[in-house]
Amino acid sequence: MKWRAIIRVTWAEQFTLDNGLQVYLLKTDTLPTVTMTFEFDVGAVTDPADKIGLASVCFDLYSEGTARLDKVAWSEALADHAVSIVSPAGLETSTVKLESLVSELDPGLDLLAELLTSPGMRQADFDRIIADRKAALAQSRGTANGVASRLIGSLVWGNGHPYGPVQTEANLDAMKLADCKAWVAQLQPEGARLWVAG
């Protein structure tokens, strides 16, 4: 049997907008979808020492809704157009990601723009996220895997390394909604990257 591999390499277009946002555009029509990912150079390594996990909490809160749309209305608006918008925080970078059908891109972009310019950042959502994190911490102490996943960074890198801190309930208790509002306020186009495929 003969095997043949076909590799098609498509280079991304690169340009910078007037506001400093770096754009990487990969045009492809393989699927009728578009993915847009904003990438910011902030994450767990920038957490204050007494608020380990702040980036993760704040970015979870960030995609809970907008000033106009609360969590339920926001979820319904996304579902109406089969659009996904998520905002995971990583170790060194955090992202805001849109996935949409091409036919629903216009309303998807409207929702994304609304989130980027006026996130909801509600106290009730913040309180729920903190309570969920505390419950997850308590659960993690009940299994070997949970304990290992919490401690692996400190064991490999050491407590003084940016990858090493271990989150505690005291870290979560120290966090306030104002911290998250200040955290998302630093997300600016200047120096950020936008990856677009579709």
Q: What is the pLDDT of residues 151-188, one digit of tens each?
A: 888 888 888 888 888 889 999 999 999 999 999 999 99
Beta strand residue intervals within the chain, DSSP E? 13-16, 22-26, 33-40, 84-86, 94-101, 193-197
Q: In this model, does residue 5 exceed pLDDT 70?
A: no
Task: List 23's β-bridge partners, or say none.
Answer: 15, 194
Closest-CA residue to 125 (of 53, 52, 78, 62)? 62
Q: What is the pLDDT of residues 60-88, one digit of tens each?
A: 999 999 999 999 999 999 999 999 999 99
177-185 and 54-62 are packed helices; what angle lies between their axes, rounded to 10 degrees? 80
Q: What is the pLDDT of residues 90-148, one digit of tens each?
A: 999 999 999 999 999 999 999 999 999 999 999 999 999 999 999 999 998 888 888 88
d(CA 38, CA 43): 13
CA dihedral 99, 124, 189, 50 (to 10 degrees): -120
pTM (2 d.p.): 0.86
Beta strand residue intervals within 4-68, DSSP E? 13-16, 22-26, 33-40
